[in-house]
Amino acid sequence: MPVAAQIMQHAAAHPHRVAVRGAHGETTYDLLARRIDGAARLLAARGAAPGAPAAIALQDPVEALVAVLAADLAGATPLVCDAAAGAERRARLLGAVPVDLRVERPLPVGPAAAGAARPAPAARPEERGPAAADPPAARAGAPHDRAWACFTSGSTGRPRAVVRTRASWTDSFPHLSDLARIGPDDTVLVPGPLSSSLYGFAAVHTLAVGATAVLPGRWPAAGLQAHLRACTAVHLVPHHLPAVLEVLRRSGGPLRSVVAGGAALPAGVRERAADADVHVLAYYGATELSFVAADADGCGLRPFPGVEIEVRAVPGAAASTGAAGGTAGAATDGVPLGEVWARSPYLADGYLAGADGPLRTDAGGWMTVGDLAGPYRGGQVLRLRGRGGGAIQTGGATVVPEDVEEVLRKAPGVGDVVVVGLPHPDLGAVVAAVVEGTGVRRAALEEVARAELDAAQRPRRWYAAERLPRTPSGKPRRGLLAARLAGGEPGIRKLG
């Protein structure tokens, strides 16, 4: 059934429990259910057709969430857009995806308020009333209904809209709740835009279990301490975890659970989290695949419940005898890498409007986006090695950026690091590292590189940036960074 129907059940059982907390205050489950129902009726009156995409671009994450859940309740497919991208860029994106309607202003509280420019952030007493007096309409919804879509470009590449069924998300809710230890008594910080599938999923899951979602809309660097005084769980990308742990070290707080996805955990943070009595669930997935593998105890990534994994040989790839001589798909230890394929109830339906992308399927219901991993047998630890298209070909060797980044993060003063390939007339490309951090010395970086990396993996060019460019979900934008390096970006300096 639609998540909105679950919210209505929570509203009937606990009408005064806080459902969402945003910039304009708190909204109870009772009021949220009423707002979603009224907005769904309004969208239906505007012509929201079953299964048709409804583009939603709203700055306020609470308003965006209301519109998303209302569109699903009305039977349409909410296509969540990044409101911060600007009207011109959004128009270009939507030009390739036919949509029945657009929601670019907050939806009124109900059909009677259709002329209102913006709903009040909190209901007046006469608007609330007992939950049973005017129960919201709960509409049936089939598991195979297309219930969510969002744009994705991964770390690089052309944006495209991924669409998924209702069940492809909701079937994973109970498993995530168990692994992350998140339940109805939690207050969950969701510090990013809902246009990112990572944060969009986090917000919807929080409401489905009856907890409280805190939605600042972006990473709350200045307000992190205030949020951590109230939140018991947080969804984030790994490079934000050290900042969370530092705030907890200084000020304490009730945080007890972290869900981290999108990249590998920085070295040592799981141990620091354990010292703070914080449980960390790290997971691997993709917008197209949803959850693939999870690590809840620090022993490595294993299949997420309900997921089958295969690592298949890359056609045309051969094993190398070391980092100095390999081809695409070859690992640095002489063992060939393969592509990660997954089969599960959580896979996406594909891309809207038949767009091209990294997602590939086979006749057996398996999917891949081209991520690389070492050899794998069922139930073993999955050892990821990055996206196939991001591998750097240098002097006949194949270098996987994530392998190099994992080592360089150990150097003193490194906050984060991105490794890219820069064009070279003789070698094809050279490995370059851009470090985010203060007081980082090239000598320290080179010392770590010499100790743990093969010759072909060691960066030949070193740079420092105050901040690395990132996607809205917090992942480093490799393609943009490489372009800035090639263009002599003044904000990036060479390390001498």
Query: What is the C-alpha to C-alpha distance for residues 216 and 222, in angstroms, rounded to an integer?
Result: 11
Residues 6+ apart with CB under 8 A from 62: 20, 22, 23, 24, 27, 215
Q: Does an H or E element contain 404, and which?
A: helix 401-408
pLDDT recorded at residue 332:
43
Of 240, 256, 263, the C-alpha closest to 183 is: 256
Distance CA 487, CA 404 (A): 24
| pLDDT, position 159 | 64
Task: Say what the pLDDT of residue 490 is.
Answer: 74
- 3-class state of residue 480 by DSSP: helix
Cα atoms found within 13 Å of the Cα of residue 211, Cβ hemisphere only: 26
Q: C-alpha dihedral over 52, 53, 58, 64, to 10 degrees?
A: 70
Residue with tokens 């030009």: 95
DSSP string, 173-230: HHHHHHHHT--TT-EEE--S-TTSHHHHHHHHHHHHTT-EEE--SS--TTTHHHHHTT
pLDDT at 315: 60
Domains in the chain: boundaries? 1-141, 398-494
- pTM of this structure: 0.78
AA letter at 14: H
* pLDDT confidence of residue 260: 95
Instruction: Check residue 442 and report its DSSP letter.
Output: H
d(CA 219, CA 241): 12
Residue 387 backbone zone (phi > 0: left; psi -120 to 50: alpha; other: beta): beta
Which amino acid belongs to residue 222? A
- CA dist 206 and 214 (Å) reads 10
Contact call for residues 465 and 491 (beta carbons, < 8 A): yes
Domain 398-494 has CATH 3.30.300.30: yes
H or E stretch at 453: none
Strands 392-394 and 397-399: antiparallel
3-state SS assignment for residue 291: strand
Contact 55, 94 (CB under 8 A): yes
pLDDT confidence of residue 398:
67
Strand partners, 312: 339
**Splitting the chain (496 residues) into consecutive groups of 10 residues, what average pLDDT does each group show?**
92 97 96 96 89 92 96 93 78 79 85 36 37 43 86 60 93 98 98 92 98 96 95 94 95 97 84 97 94 96 97 62 31 68 96 85 94 88 79 72 87 89 80 88 92 86 89 78 78 85
CATH number for the domain running over 1-141: 3.40.50.980
